[in-house]
Amino acid sequence: MSDPHILLSGQSLALGMPRQDMLPEYHRWENDARTILGYGNQWAQSWEVRAAGYERQRGNDRYQQFEVVRLEDQASVGMTVLQVNTFDRTAEFVIVLAPEERGKGHAAEATRLTLDWAFHLAALRMVWLKVMEPNRAGIAAYAKAGFRQSGRLRKSGFWLGQPVDELLMDVLPEDFPGPSAVTAALGN
């Protein structure tokens, strides 16, 4: 495996460039039953579909991916994505963590680092996400990173086979909880 290319460092995590040689790991994380449940999917994705999708995503400047790297050992622990709408300068946020890395506080820091990039480098006006209402751990991590509930899609998702509401959450630059790793890295 290649070494991670770190773009932005936080306290215990960093954002790096996605690595093609990590694609099998990303695929494993995305096909974990808890990931499928959290995304509201019903099916695993084949390797062929995932590999082809990676190639398309790499050339799409509206689909900004970051590998989440643990600083202490340079291990990859997750991915975050900003699906950017360039016309209105907003983005949808998505995160996936390695199954063995969940419950360790990584979600909040990885989310905060991605928002730091989104607001202080990409100059986005707003970032939003959808989360299944029963996903209390996700909701808490997003709130800790600055997201606020902004709406509800009634019975639009499934959780353990039952229809559930999806919550819409958003965050504006002024909601960013700081401190900014971007401004610290730039010496401002």
To the nearest whole number, what is the mean pLDDT of the chain? 92
Tell which residue, 175, 148, 172, has the closest CA to residue 90. Answer: 172
Amino acid letter for position 164: V
Q: Which of 39, 54, 63, 142 is catalytic?
A: 142
How high is the pLDDT of residue 23? 86
The model's pTM? 0.92
**166 has a pLDDT exceeding 90:** yes
Burial class (CB in 10 A: 0-12, 13-18, 19+), 119: buried
Amino acid letter for position 50: R
Band of pLDDT at residue 85, cut at 50, 70 and 90: very high
How high is the pLDDT of residue 101? 96
Residues 6+ positions from 36 with CB-CB distance below 8 Å? 42, 43, 44
- Let me know if 142 is a catalytic residue: yes
**142 has a pLDDT exceeding 80:** yes
Mean pLDDT of the region 37-61? 75
> 9-37: per-residue pLDDT in tens?
999 999 999 998 998 899 898 888 888 88
Band of pLDDT at residue 39, cut at 50, 70 and 90: confident
